[in-house]
Amino acid sequence: FYAAPADHVTGKVDDLAELTNLNETTLLKELKVRYSEDSIYTFLSDILIAVNPYKQLPLYTEDAHDLYQQKQRWEAPPHIFAIADRSFHNLFEMAKNQCVIISGESGAGKTESAKLVVKHYIHLCNARGHQAPNNLEKQIIESSPLLEAFGNAQTVMNDNSSRFGKYTRLVFDADGQVLGIQLSEYLLEKSRVIEQAAGERNFHLFYYMFAMPNKERYLLGDMSSYHCLGGKAWEDNTAMYEEVVRTLRLMNFSEADEAMIFRTLATVIHLGNVNFDGTEEAYVKDDAPLKAAATLLQVSPAVLTEVLTSIESVAKGEKIRRSYKQSQAYDCRDALAKALYAGVFGWMVNSINTALAPTLQGKTNIHEIGVLDIFGFECFAVNSFEQLC
């Protein structure tokens, strides 16, 4: 059996790779003791283990940013800034592009860690005396609330779970000035807009819409009457809605863009209330939600009804329209709702990329750091395709 060295004190080793016998039991014991002392970060060689404290800790001050500038791993306690700092300086010392991979289960703190990494990069740029043009640094940091409103939701394990993967590509010039970023999103959990497991909610932004002063413009009534909105609105709904609107302005979205976003989301909400009857040929049971969705889509109710209850094919140059069965009509409705949400989400990400795109004109020596915030994994009673990936 393994016996720890006489001078070993559990929880006081910053790098678990230094232990003479590292196994699962030892690792968990060390992490548990460190966690109880609010030491939430621990190195395992070049890997940083972070345990979510679920409370605010004074670990991310300006002094903390300064403490980890150009420090070797053993010169300061384990910290997310140490990883960010090392990758930033490797970018120039090794002349090789870098990547920070953040992985873990839902609720582990991946999204917050990714934001802290980017925040430290911005601090390092400022420390070099570089000021990004056109409010770029503020835009980079404050784009996160918008992405979270669109792509995060309450699950059984986590009230703010990212239901998509995000890759952030930061571009720097040879002097270390940030030129811009590019975002890539993947595996958006589109099935969530249709239904959610017990105790879970749809994406946050759907609920924020009910705090709008002009929600009647989007034909919205009482939130509890919509089938696709599980759970309840939070107390900070109004504040979160105002933050989304403020961020849209900061990211150069126009009022017309904002209206288009909310109109599309309201359409998805109304589609969730469209029901069908009939056996061989499906028909819409209640015209009210369909008419609301058609109005918001700016099409006639007859056209939307035709799209949801039938399909047109072409055979030998002749158009043939075939009616859906009831189950097929529901599948079509769900597919339309998911496509609308995925479309507006992708468009929003592309618009942010346009606002934050790096200015490369006249730049010849370009460096890049990628920050990968991996989709948080959970084990549900029913797992969707996106979750199983």
Task: Out of 10-24, 63-77, 331-345, give the one with best mean pLDDT.
Answer: 331-345
Residue 153 burial (10 A CB sphere; 0-12, 13-18, 19+): buried
2 pLDDT tier (thresholds 50, 70, 90)? very low
Q: What is the mean pLDDT of residues 190-200?
A: 91
What is the rounded CA–CA span in Å between residue 69 and residue 88?
Answer: 10
Mean pLDDT computed over 355-383:
78
Nearest alpha carbon to residue 83 among 52, 56, 121? 121
* Residue-wise pLDDT tens digits, 36-62: 999 999 999 999 999 999 999 999 999
Span 311-333, pLDDT tens digits: 988 877 788 889 999 999 999 99
Residue found under tokens 């618009």: 351
Token pair in block for residue 163 = 């239901």
Mean pLDDT computed over 65-90: 93
Tokens representing 317 are 């140059």
Active-site residue set: 106-107, 111, 158, 161-162, 376, 378
> What pLDDT sits at residue 153?
93
Of 271 and 132, the structure prediction assigns the larger pLDDT to: 271
Nearest to 118 by CA among 376, 363, 372: 372
pLDDT tens track for 271-298 = 999 999 998 899 999 999 999 999 999 9
Q: What is the pLDDT of residue 101?
A: 95
Q: What is the pLDDT of residue 71?
A: 87
Confidence (pLDDT) at 39: 96
- Please give the Cα distance from 309 to 297 (Å, whole number): 17
List 369's β-bridge partners, or say none.
98, 170
- What local confidence, expressed as pLDDT, does residue 186 receive? 87
pLDDT mean across residues, the chain = 89
What pLDDT shows up at residue 201? 95
Region 201-224: mean pLDDT is 95
Q: List 170's β-bridge partners, or say none.
A: 181, 369
- pLDDT at residue 80 is higher than 90: yes
**What's residue 277's pLDDT?**
94
Helices (H), the chain: 24-36, 62-67, 80-93, 110-127, 136-142, 144-151, 204-208, 237-250, 255-271, 287-297, 301-309, 326-356, 385-388
* Phi/psi of residue 15, nearest 5 degrees: -120, 110
* The pLDDT of residue 303 is above 90: yes
Distance in angstroms (rounded) separating the CA atoms of residues 384 and 389: 9
The arithmetic mean of pLDDT across residues 63-70, rounded, is 93
pLDDT score for 136: 74
Q: What does the block give as tokens for 186?
A: 């993947």
Task: Indicate the pTM of the whole model.
Answer: 0.87
The β-bridge relationship of strands 283-284 and 276-277 is antiparallel
> Looking at residue 11, what is its pLDDT?
82
**344: which 2 tokens?**
């507006």
- Is a pLDDT exceeding 70 seen at residue 98? yes
Q: Give pLDDT, residue 131.
A: 65
Mean pLDDT of 238-259: 93
Share of the chain above pLDDT 90, in %: 63
Residue 3 pLDDT > 60, yes or no? no
Tokens encoding 343:
């479309």
Q: Are 329 and 309 in contact (CB under 8 A)?
A: yes
pLDDT at 177: 86
Helix (H) or strand (E) holding 48: strand 47-50
Question: What integer pLDDT is reported at residue 158 of this predicted model?
Answer: 86
